[in-house]
């Protein structure tokens, strides 16, 4: 029995690692300004409490006190000062430069090194996760909502609704995702709203196809026929009996779409037409590849690893959910 337990540990680890990396990316992306920042999370300045990092989380960071930056003010605090501050876990901002650390190699104080303007690579990676999550998560959630509702409606009602939804699906399938994003960026720019809208228009078809197929199968099941015979309304049958049956399939599709969203955002940023963000994995990869001949391997390696690890984890998570769905 001990041998079996020992053999099962690597398998259990492989199953948990995708969950860990995906959840870690979501948490880091959602709370990046509280994790890596050169502004305090909490501070008391001249008897007034302020929350600079929380304000930065919503895009409205206050200026530093006494005409200083927050980091300069914090470095001047003495043991006898009534002012105090709680700094983030990693006290470096994604745009904070240091002239003495241009293209510095990884070290104890900066384990991932610094870029060509002295910015901390680890802080930029953390805020790059925020860019990926801020673009990918709302896109996937909105696409899941629209695609699930349309797919359920088409699959359950059949008729003209099913025909119309199928024609729209076929229309959007004619355009590859990257080509669709490039055309949209050329016409509508690289604003957050435009990119999220384009991704929703591209991803909803994946959810609609999966949910429609599930509904076509479920609507012929005995429990649905019995529910109709008992006089239960169609709306209640859909929401209470059929929709819970397709949640796993929606989760599988969401994991694949999240991976596609991260790759799409990184690709657009690598090409220089991504969203206007403090940091992006694609932008970091482009800057690192431009300077690869200078021996700054850390500038391209770490963003490349971040993209690979998160995308592979999303696919592995989708595979685990698919196995659970089959079983």
Question: What pTM value is reported for the model?
Answer: 0.87
Tokens 């430069």 belong to 97
pLDDT at 7 over 70: no
Tens of pLDDT, residue by residue over 130-140, are 999 999 999 99
Helix spans in the chain (H): 2-30, 32-35, 52-57, 70-75, 121-157, 159-173, 177-188, 192-218, 222-229, 234-236, 243-270, 281-290, 298-326
Q: What are 48's strand-pairing partners?
A: 45
Grouping H, G, I as helix, E, B as strand and the rest as coil, residue 43 is: strand
8 Å CB contact between 271 and 287: no
Q: What proportion of the chain, given as a percentage, has pLDDT over 90?
A: 40
Say what the pLDDT of residue 10 is.
64
pLDDT at 327 over 90: no
pLDDT at 186 over 80: no
The Cα 47–Cα 152 span in angstroms is: 57
8 Å CB contact between 107 and 113: yes
Please compute the mean of the pLDDT values over residues 116-140 and round it to a whole number.
94
Q: How confident is the model at residue 310 (pLDDT cuts 50, 70, 90)?
A: very high
The Cα 35–Cα 92 span in angstroms is: 9
Nearest CA among 140, 131, 119, 95 for reference residue 274: 131
Grouping H, G, I as helix, E, B as strand and the rest as coil, residue 69 is: coil
Please compute the mean of the pLDDT values over residues 17-24 and round it to a whole number.
90
The Cα 247–Cα 323 span in angstroms is: 14
Burial of 79 (0-12, 13-18, 19+ CB in 10 A): exposed
| Average pLDDT of the chain to the nearest whole number | 86
Is pLDDT larger for residue 7 or for residue 93? 93
Say what the pLDDT of residue 5 is.
47
Q: What is the DSSP letter of 230?
A: T
Say what the pLDDT of residue 79 is.
75
Q: What is the DSSP letter of 120?
A: B
Torsion sign (Cα): 116, 119, 125, 131 = negative
Say what the pLDDT of residue 9 is.
63
DSSP per-residue letters across 88-104: -SB---TT---GGGTTP
Tens of pLDDT, residue by residue over 254-307, are 999 999 999 999 988 898 888 877 789 999 999 998 887 778 899 999 999 999
DSSP per-residue letters across 150-210: HHHHHHHH-HHHHHHHHHHHHHHHTS-HHHHHHHHHHHH-S-HHHHHHHHHHHHHHHHHHH
Question: What structural domains does the chain harbor?
Answer: 123-326 (1.10.3720.10)
- Other beta carbons less than 10 A from residue 272's beta carbon: 10
pLDDT at 114 over 50: yes
8 Å CB contact between 246 and 214: yes
- Other beta carbons less than 10 A from residue 306's beta carbon: 22
Nearest CA among 127, 128, 36 for reference residue 89: 36
Grouping H, G, I as helix, E, B as strand and the rest as coil, residue 273 is: coil
Say what the pLDDT of residue 280 is.
92
Grouping H, G, I as helix, E, B as strand and the rest as coil, residue 114 is: strand
Is pLDDT larger for residue 37 or for residue 79? 37
Structure tokens of 273?
A: 């037409």
């Amino acid at each position: 029995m001990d041998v079996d337990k020992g053999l099962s540990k690597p398998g259990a680890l492989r199953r948990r690692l995708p969950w860990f990396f995906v959840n870690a990316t979501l948490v880091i992306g959602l709370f990046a300004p509280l994790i890596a920042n050169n502004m305090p999370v909490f501070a008391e300045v001249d008897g007034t409490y302020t929350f600079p990092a929380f304000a930065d989380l919503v895009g409205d960071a206050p200026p530093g006190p006494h005409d200083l930056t927050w980091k300069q003010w914090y470095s001047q605090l003495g043991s006898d000062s009534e002012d105090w501050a709680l700094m983030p876990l990693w006290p470096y901002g994604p745009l904070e430069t240091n002239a003495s650390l241009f293209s510095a190699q990884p070290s104890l104080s900066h384990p991932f090194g610094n870029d060509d303007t002295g910015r901390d690579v680890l802080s930029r990676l953390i805020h790059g996760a925020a860019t990926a999550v801020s673009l990918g998560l709302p896109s996937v959630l909105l696409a899941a909502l629209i695609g699930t509702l349309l797919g359920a409606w088409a699959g359950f009602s059949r008729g003209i609704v099913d025909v119309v939804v199928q024609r729209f699906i076929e229309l959007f399938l004619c355009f590859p995702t990257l080509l669709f994003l490039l055309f949209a960026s050329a016409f509508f720019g690289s604003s957050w709203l435009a990119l999220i809208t384009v991704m929703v228009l591209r991803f909803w078809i994946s959810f609609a196809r999966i949910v429609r197929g599930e509904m076509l199968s479920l609507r012929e099941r005995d429990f649905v026929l019995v529910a109709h015979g008992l006089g239960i309304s169609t709306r209640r049958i859909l929401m209470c009996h059929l929709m819970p049956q397709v949640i796993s399939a929606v989760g599988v599709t969401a994991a694949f779409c999240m991976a596609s969203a991260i790759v799409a955002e990184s690709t657009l940023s690598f090409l220089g037409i991504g969203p206007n963000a403090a940091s992006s994995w694609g932008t970091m990869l482009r800057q690192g590849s431009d300077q690869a001949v200078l021996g700054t391997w850390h500038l391209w390696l770490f963003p490349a690893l971040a993209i690979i690890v998160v995308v592979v984890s999303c696919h592995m998570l989708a595979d685990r959910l698919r196995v659970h769905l089959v079983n």
